[in-house]
Amino acid sequence: MSAGTAAFAYAEPDPEPVINCDASGYQRVAAGVALATADYMDDHPDVRDAYTDMKSDNVVPSDQAAHYLQAHPDVAASMARLRQPLKDLMLRCG
């Protein structure tokens, strides 16, 4: 392998784009989190169905979600990972 080829073989990936700490930056990150969460729910119909049922009941959905996530720590961990980019932005931007 020549030196020129080796440089391409080990090239660093492009850095993540810097998200601005403004309304459009927040919306971009929130949209990415929402899309990733929707994809997760599509891949996990039991989770999708549980959240759908919460929305249809008259109980406060956030209370139901908290109970569901306590009973399903694997789902709680996955949802936390999905929301992490939004948390990171909020920590960075204040």
Give 13-33 as a DSSP string. Answer: PPPPPPPPSSHHHHHHHHHHH
Q: What number is the average pLDDT over the span 6-19?
A: 60
The reported pLDDT for the residue numbered 19 is 75
What is the number of domains present in the chain? Answer: 1
SS3 state at 57: coil
Domain assignment of residue 1, yes or no: no
Pick the range with the lowest mean pLDDT from 43-47, 58-62, 74-78.
58-62
Evaluate if residue 13 carries a pLDDT over 60. no
Per-residue tokens: 75: 């789902």
Q: What is the mean pLDDT of the chain?
A: 84
Q: What number is the average pLDDT over the span 39-59?
A: 88
Determine contact, residues 86/30, Cβ cutoff 8 Å: yes
Domain extent, residue 81, equals: 20-93
Positive or negative CA dihedral for 26, 38, 43, 46?
Answer: positive
What's the CATH number where 32 sits? 1.20.20.20
Domain assignment of residue 69, yes or no: yes
Domain assignment of residue 9, yes or no: no
Rg, Å, the chain Cα set: 19
Domain assignment of residue 8, yes or no: no
Percentage, residues of the chain above pLDDT 70: 74
Evaluate if residue 55 carries a pLDDT over 70. yes
Evaluate if residue 71 carries a pLDDT over 70. yes
- CA end-to-end distance (rounded Å), the chain: 48
The number of residues in the chain equals 94
> How many Å apart are CA 46 and CA 82, to the nearest integer?
17
